[in-house]
């Protein structure tokens, strides 16, 4: 026996309301996961850049150029690359916000290799 027309309309209306209520939650979870991925990549990139800068320092190369070469273009300009007197290289990288402009926080990576000269 077919369902009454009012019951079908009511079920469709309920499904629509549930979708409207859950959609912001789904978007928030997706953006949160994306932000975690962006932050993870920035932490990895800062470490790789610090190691590249330290290798350049160890062989007498251009520390800043070597470090910045490995950074994503989106944060390359805002990064801080510092070569210390003891040969350590420090890279401070902003973690860009997924939504909006600016940075959520920064990450710092340090590396040092013995001089190879």
What's the pLDDT tens digit per position in 47-61?
999 999 999 999 999
pLDDT value at residue 98? 73
41/61 Cα distance (integer angstroms): 26
pTM exceeds 0.75, yes or no: no
The total of structural domains in the chain comes to 1
83 within some domain: yes
Please check whether residue 37 lies inside any domain of the structure. yes
Q: Which helix (H) or strand (E) holds 65?
A: helix 63-69
117: in domain? no
Task: Flag whether 43 is in a domain.
Answer: yes
Degrees to nearest 5, angle at CA 41 with 23 and 63: 155
Summarize the confidence of residues 20-40 as an average pLDDT. 82
SS3 3: coil
Tokens representing 92 are 């401070």
Q: Is residue 116 part of a domain?
A: no
Instruction: Give which of 57, 53, 73, 54 is closest to 65, Cα–Cα.
Output: 53
If you average pLDDT over residues 75-102, what whole number do you get?
87
DSSP 23: H
Q: What is the pLDDT of residue 9?
A: 63
Res 10 pLDDT > 90? no
């Amino acid at each position: 026996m077919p369902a009454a027309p009012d019951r079908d309309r009511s079920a469709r209306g309920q499904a629509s309301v549930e979708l409207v209520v859950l959609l912001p939650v789904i978007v928030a979870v997706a953006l949160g996961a994306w932000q975690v991925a962006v932050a993870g990549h920035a932490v990895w990139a800062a470490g790789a850049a610090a190691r590249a800068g330290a290798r350049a320092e160890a062989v007498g190369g251009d520390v800043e150029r070597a470090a910045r070469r490995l950074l994503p273009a989106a944060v390359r300009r805002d990064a801080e690359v510092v070569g210390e007197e003891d040969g350590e290289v420090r890279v401070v990288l902003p973690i860009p916000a997924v939504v909006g402009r600016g940075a959520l926080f920064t990450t710092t990576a340090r590396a040092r290799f013995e001089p190879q000269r």
